[in-house]
Amino acid sequence: MRSDRIKKGVERSPSRSLLYATGVTEQSMNSPFVAIISSFTDIIPGHIGFRDLERAIEKGIHTGGGQAFLSSVPGVCDGIAMGHKGMHYSLPTRDLIADMIECVVEAHAFDGMVMLTNCDKITPGMLMAAARLDIPTVVVTAGPMMAGMHRNKRRSLVRDTFEAVGQVSAGTMTETELCALEKEACPGPGSCSGMYTANTMACVTESMGMSLPGCATALAVSGKKRRIAFESGVAICEAIKNNVTARQIMTRPAFENAIRVDLALGGSTNTALHIPAIAHDAAVDLPLETFDILSRETPQICSVRPGGEDFIEDVEYAGGIPVVMKELKDKIHNLPTVAGITTHQSADASRNDNPDVIRPASNPFKKEGGIVVLKGNLAPDGAVVKQSAIVPEMMKFSGKAVCFDSEEMAMERILKGDVKAGHVVIVRYEGPKGGPGMREMLAPTAAIAGRGLQNSVALITDGRFSGGTRGPCIGHVSPEAMECGPIALVQDGDTIHIDIPERTMRLDVDDAELAKRRAEWKAPEPKIKTGYLVRYAKLVSSAGSGAILKD
């Protein structure tokens, strides 16, 4: 066992002495040492229920014959960090989490890991560490929260708080109603109740084979989730016994399964950052174009908020990810999973209890997947858009640019009413380097929707979007403005043409004029000049390659 290096031999007597000090018994010295990597915190709703799940995992590990050790990593709530300086730090925590896990697991020579996670950057950070370390690993995502309820109508975070801010500014909602909604939109523990980034990443994790069947959608408040946590503890001991390591699960075909399920669900565009980054640590070549290739042949068979009207709990009650894979079965590779069964076996054991929520592939909501990649002279290295959240009449759009060099500038003008129908809002210097940290743009996109402009205004940014964004919002524009990408050269009044079916985005300015503007361009002063983000900005790659930190 890996852990023998800290517990076997005369020379390891000091290590054993320290282990005995923690309460490890002499008998347990012969057991596999298993790390429970938890991101418990009191400030993220998706993580406040972890103490119970940690205990369930620990019981499962001991039942399976292992010795459990709890270790922690930090987490950031994107919803709380949104719209201010805090969001600069969100994406960079993904790489910090992966690095911290690597350090702790290698330093203590653990034989395997159970990772307890839930929210946006934390799940991909943990998966990056699993891929990098390549030891037996099982991931437990802690589950979605139930939908909120107000005036006998189900509610969700994005439409009933973020978009409501825009409605108040437009005068179509009172502040009293907003205050009532904010108390009910998020009713308790769990990741937010739509197909936002946290739940999308949970579904990606299960469909990749790194979680037990049913884990992704089992509600945070359910006994089912606790049973899955216990069974995950047992499963890691079997994986250690059989030496089933993370890279044996996280293969190129497994990443393709994950992308297909993501596309079928109409999931968050953030997966176009996270899946390539995880693949990079797994030594799997997975270019951004993979999303578009698979999207053209993968139907969207779920329509969950923000793009649709269903909630993640509806997907759970319909049968969860095993049913999604069953409906896509001819496109899903039959691969091993951490459960000891294959993806097809998991799918075959499921039953679709609501074909209106998880539709058959023969009757999809849309013929193509939820995410597509656009290219053109405005984004030579690519940009990403969630077409599942766009109405048909906005799939082709031309408009006049209104340019802002920060999210705050854009938000102020949107709320003032300066953004009108027919505008293409450009928000730049918000990329991985320019942000720094590639902030999510949920506040301005929600304000646009709240003011009723989501079907007449487009937004383009080198930043990124929350999984809660809807409307023609194009992110991850590469190269970013801080690298003098073409988005830095756009001027107010320029015409921009967007054609999502053709996968193009074009700035209607000739090459000679762009060359002149490029020669006159000067990089702005960095927004943040001290601390971790300065180092991050120097190392981070473009969004087109997953915003990974360069070796």
Whether residue 363 is contained in a domain is answered as no
Calculate mean pLDDT across residues 123-137: 98
Q: Is residue 192 located within the same domain as residue 180?
A: no
Whether residue 124 is preceded by a cis peptide bond, meaning omega within 30 degrees of 0, is: no
Note whether 295 and 277 are same-domain residues: yes
How far, in Å, CA of 117 to CA of 103, rounded?
A: 18
* Confidence check: pLDDT of 551 > 90: no
Do both 116 and 155 map to the same domain?
no
Whether omega for the bond prior to residue 355 falls within 30 degrees of 0, making it cis, is no
Q: Indicate whether 156 and 195 sit together in one domain.
A: no
Structure token digits, residue 285: 């070549």
* CATH number, position 506: 3.50.30.80
Q: Is residue 21 part of a domain?
A: no
194 occurs within a structural domain: yes
CA distances from 180 to 175, 177, 220, 309, 415 (A): 9, 5, 24, 21, 21
Rounded to 10 degrees, what is the CA torsion of 410, 413, 414, 417? Answer: -170
Helix (H/G/I), strand (E/B), else coil: 416: helix
- pLDDT classification of 132: cutoffs 50, 70, 90: very high
206 in the same domain as 73: yes
Task: Tell me the residue length of the chain.
Answer: 551
Q: How far apart are CA 250 and CA 330, in angstroms?
A: 20
Average pLDDT, the chain: 96
Range 139-164 average pLDDT: 93
Domain that holds residue 180: 150-184
Q: Give the Cβ contact number of residue 517 at 10 Å.
A: 16
Q: Which residues pair with 144 in a beta bridge?
A: 191
- Give burial (CB, 10 Å; 0-12/13-18/19+) of 222: middle
Q: Minimal CA–CA distance to 96: which of 550, 536, 545, 546? A: 536
How many Å apart are CA 549 and CA 544, to the nearest integer?
Answer: 13
Crossing angle (nearest 10°) for helices 90-108 and 122-133: 40
Q: pTM of the predicted model, to two decimals? A: 0.95
Q: Do 111 and 169 belong to one domain?
A: no
Mean pLDDT of 285-296: 96
Secondary structure letter of residue 512 according to DSSP:
H
Q: Identify whether residues 291 and 340 lie together within a single domain.
A: yes
Look at the chain and report how many structural domains it folds into: 3
Is 335 contained in some domain?
A: yes
Is residue 281 located within the same domain as residue 392? no
Quick one: pLDDT at residue 272? 95
Together in a domain, 417 and 494:
yes
Q: Is 38 a member of any domain?
A: no
How far is it, in rounded angstroms, from Cα 432 to Cα 550?
A: 12
Tens-place pLDDT, residues 518-532: 999 999 999 999 999
Sequence-ordered alpha helix ranges (H) in 67-156? 78-81, 90-108, 122-133
Domain co-membership, 530 together with 448: yes
Please enumerate in sequence order all residues whose Cβ is within 8 A of that of 222, keeping only pairs 6 or more positions apart, or say none.
143
List of residues 6+ apart from 179 with CB closer than 8 A = none
Judge whether 325 lies within some domain: yes
Could you tell me whether strands 423-427 and 458-461 are parallel, antiparallel, or unpaired per DSSP bridges? parallel
What average pLDDT does range 179-196 have in this prediction?
A: 94
pLDDT at residue 215 tops 90: yes
The answer, yes or no, to whether residue 159 has pLDDT greater than 90, is no
What is the reported pLDDT for 338? 98
Residue at 456 is within a domain: yes
Q: Is residue 318 part of a domain?
A: yes
DSSP classification of residue 186: S
Specify whether 222 is catalytic: no
pLDDT tens sequence across 351-375: 999 999 999 999 999 999 999 999 9
d(CA 488, CA 209): 41
Which is nearest to 398 in space by CA: 368, 372, 378?
A: 378
How many other C-beta atoms are found inside a 10 Å radius of the C-beta of residue 356? Answer: 11
C-alpha to C-alpha distances, 326 to 204, 322, 363, 368, 485, nearest whole angstrom: 15, 6, 14, 18, 42
**pLDDT of residue 57 exceeding 90:** yes
In this structure, the dihedral spanned by the alpha carbons of residues 210, 469, 490 and 483, taken in order and rounded to 10 degrees, is -30
Residue 341 exposed, middle or buried by CB count within 10 Å (0-12, 13-18, 19+): middle
Q: Which of 303, 466, 542, 545 is catalytic?
A: 466
- Rounded distance, CA 138 to CA 229, Å? 10
- Do 396 and 280 fall into the same domain? no
Find out whether 444 and 430 touch, Cβ atoms under 8 Å: no
Neighbours of 26 (CB within 10 A): 8
Q: Which class for 325: exposed (0-12), middle (13-18), buried (19 or more C-beta within 10 A)?
A: buried
User: Are 138 and 161 found together in one domain?
Assistant: no
Last residue of a domain, one of 133, 160, 184: 184
The token pair at 293 is: 């290739």
Residue 3 pLDDT grade (very low, low, confident, very high; cuts 50, 70, 90)? very high
pLDDT (mean) for 239-243: 98
User: What is the arithmetic mean of pLDDT over 78-86?
Assistant: 90
**pLDDT over 90 at 307, yes or no:** no
Q: In what order do the strands lie in the sheet with 33-38?
A: 67-72, 33-38, 112-117, 137-141
Assess whether pLDDT exceeds 80 at residue 468.
no
Mean pLDDT of 126-139: 98
**What is the rounded distance in angstroms from the CA atom of residue 542 to the CA atom of residue 549?**
9
Residue type, 292: D
